[in-house]
Structure 1
Amino acid sequence: MSDPRPADHAVEASVTIDRPVRDVFAFYRDFENLPRFLGDVMVVERTGPATFRWTIQGPLGLRLRSSIRVTEERTNELIRYETTAAPALRGQWVVRFAPASGPGRTEVHETLTTPFGRLGLAALALMGKPPAAETAANLRRLKQLLETGEVTDTDHAVAGKFGRGAPGR
């Protein structure tokens, strides 16, 4: 499948991780690892070979459930996934993995396209969930977790999720 250019309302972020591509890809591709670094995803459950249900902690403590499916995967290169809502309501992610300069380093590049285009981006920002900042913070936490084994960056995360006293600590 060819990769179209990101929509003008998509957000992008990148990070370089001091781990080999195969390790970073394998960790990310195990979607049950997502709650370990995504700021608002609390639980991910596999529902099929390429489908998952995740629970998100939304604004005002509201818990939202959503189903996602992997729509394309190229081992050690790319994971494309989306919510399973009606086409106009789908969030879509493209995560690319590539060797970075230096031995054993990986460049991770994520593109998020939200429903409702620019209006969707603005609405999320007004609710305190700015997509560009959240995407960058999520990748920083992925880097921390894979390089140090722990997450200390709490920007754009559910309060207490990664700090002392957080669930699972």
Structure 2
Amino acid sequence: MRHPPRRDGSAVEARVTVERPVADVFGFYRDLENLPRFLGDVTEVRRTGPATYRWTVVGPLGVRVRSTIRLTEARADELIRYETTGPPGLRARWTVHFTPGPGRTEVHQVLATPLGAVGHALLRLVGKPPGAEVAANLRRLKQVLETGVVTDTDHAVAGKFGRRPPER
């Protein structure tokens, strides 16, 4: 299933080069149960069907939200697309491209937020700027695949990657 490009200002994108072969990077990302290892606000992903997963996201003020994501397309070593389920205008959609190079892989991710530009603005208002989050998530993907250790805590749930919550 292809998702046409969005022209409403709601799509954000980022790129990172991972010093690992494309098969390694694609294989790691394609196992969506690995998402909590590098996504800053996703704490759990469990497979519920051949192409569906239940994930838990920690949102503003520590609110936990559980929803279903669906893998909509996967082309080995090239492309992964997944989206949240629900009414079409309320779905978040991710497209992840993998471009091989000698011993490395460029990962290019595009996130289309729900509710168009309004949804994008609302996420920024609650402290979840989509562009910054996508970039931080890709930096953590690079770290986990190259070193096995995540040190980038930008736009992540407090304490998730070793950062302690502030003292009160």
Pick the TM interval, shorter chain: over 0.9
Match of 1:112 in 2: 111
State the partner residue of 2:131. Answer: 132
Does structure 1 residue 75 correspond to structure 2 residue 76?
yes
Residue 120 of structure 2 contacts residue 130 of structure 2 at CA under 8 Å; is this kept in 1? yes
The alpha-carbon deviation at position 4 of structure 1 amounts to 3.5
Secondary structure of the corresponding residue to residue 120 of structure 1? helix
CA distance in 2, matches of 1:110, 1:129: 17
Distance 1:140 1:109 in 2: 12
Identical columns (%): 69
- TM-score, normalised to structure 2, is 0.93
For residues 10-55 of structure 1, the C-alpha deviation after alignment (integer angstroms, 9 at most, x for no partner) is: 0000000000000000000111110000000000000001100000
Instruction: Say if 2:18 is the partner of 1:17.
Output: yes
Q: Deviations over 1:97-121 (max 9, x none)?
A: 0113xx2100000000011111101
Shift of the 154–84 alpha-carbon distance from structure 1 to 2, 3 Å rule, reads: same
Q: TM-score, normalised by structure 1?
A: 0.93
Shift of 1:164: 5.5
Distance 2:163 2:2 in 1: 44
User: 1:101-149, CA deviations, whole angstroms, 9 ceiling, x for partnerless residues?
Assistant: xx21000000000111111011000000000000000000000000001
Distance in 1, Cα, partners of 2:164 & 2:88: 39
Counterpart of 2:132 in 1: which secondary structure? helix
- Structure 2 portions without partners, runs of 5+: none
> How many residues are treated as equivalent by the alignment?
164
C-alpha contact 1:6 1:111 (8 A) present in aligned 2:
no
- Tell me what 1:156 maps to: 155
Which of structure 1's runs of 4+ aligned residues deviate more than 4 A?
none
1-structure distance, mates of 2:31, 2:2: 24
Give the match for residue 144 of structure 1: 143
1:48 alignment partner AA: G
2:30 is aligned to 29
